[in-house]
Amino acid sequence: MQQAQQAHVGVLPTLARHESRSFVKAFLAKLTRRATGPLALEFEQTVRKRRMVRHFTKGPVGAEVVTRILELAQHAPSAGFSQGSAYVVVTQPEMKRRLAILQGETEYVGAGFHHWISESPVAIIPCVSEKLYHDRYNEPDKLQDGKEIEWPTPYWFFDIGAGCMIILLAAVDAGLAAAFSGATDPAGIRKLVGIPKHFHPVGVISIGHPARDKKSPSLKRGRRPVEQVVHHEKW
């Protein structure tokens, strides 16, 4: 085993004290893969393994894991490097309970799902500010003929999506699971956690240790055949 990996092994007793068995197992599996396999395979496995998991065990998620996941999210690209995304981390049970009500958890439970939003150890609210994009694109290097561009696409939503994708994948990479639920009452969420007016909460990412869950009925549709999705040279 190489020196860097030996250094990682040194943290195992601390990990074992603070993290669940599944987390330590995933960490060990990763070390082994790093020692033997190409990194590209590890990335592919992470992408293929990711799915929305709507049930979590009571296993805790350490604050340092959440910090690392969100630090990675900051590496998402953003138009003009506007960096208009922000995240609110909610761990207090009462706040998660209220958030779950706003996210329609009662309806999910009525449909046979678990209390996945209130019971996840960590809830992250991804937010994006359209205003920060207008501010950025009114800076001299972004003006076109002295004016702000006509936005061909609302890039702020593209950028928060990129940040969310990093969070979803980083959770899997950490041996955890996650699920996104879209915000149906953004104003209610904004009020609950004090989000500034110009930030829009797009939903909630629930993160925790995976438990056996009910799959979304939408999955019955199956993945579209690749030839319907990917077009070469011409559509």
Q: Which amino acid is at 87?
A: Y
Residues 43, 45, 48, 53: is their CA dihedral positive or negative?
negative
- Asked if 216 is part of the footprint of ligand FMN (rule: CB under 6 A), the reply reads yes
* Minimal distance, residue 163 CB to ligand FMN, in Å: 13
List residues bridging with 123 in a β-sheet.
90, 206
* Minimal distance, residue 150 CB to ligand FMN, in Å: 25
Please give the DSSP secondary-structure letter assigned to residue 103. T
Give, as ranges, the residues between 29 and 58 that touch ligand FMN (CB under 6 A).
51-52
* Minimal distance, residue 86 CB to ligand FMN, in Å: 18
- Asked if 180 is part of the footprint of ligand FMN (rule: CB under 6 A), the reply reads yes
Binder of ligand FMN out of 127, 181, 192, 199 (CB under 6 A): 181
- Measured between alpha carbons, how far is 199 from 171 in angstroms, rounded to an integer? 24
* Minimal distance, residue 118 CB to ligand FMN, in Å: 14
84 vs 126 by CB, closer to ligand FMN = 126
**Contact partners, residue 230, CB within 8 Å, separation at least 6:** none
Binder of ligand FMN out of 39, 218, 224, 233 (CB under 6 A): 218
**Degrees, nearest 5: CA angle 202-204-207:** 145
Number of residues that bind ligand FMN (CB under 6 A): 8
- Measured between alpha carbons, how far is 38 from 206 in angstroms, rounded to an integer? 30
Q: Given the rule CB under 6 A, which residues bind ligand FMN?
A: 51-52, 180-182, 216, 218-219
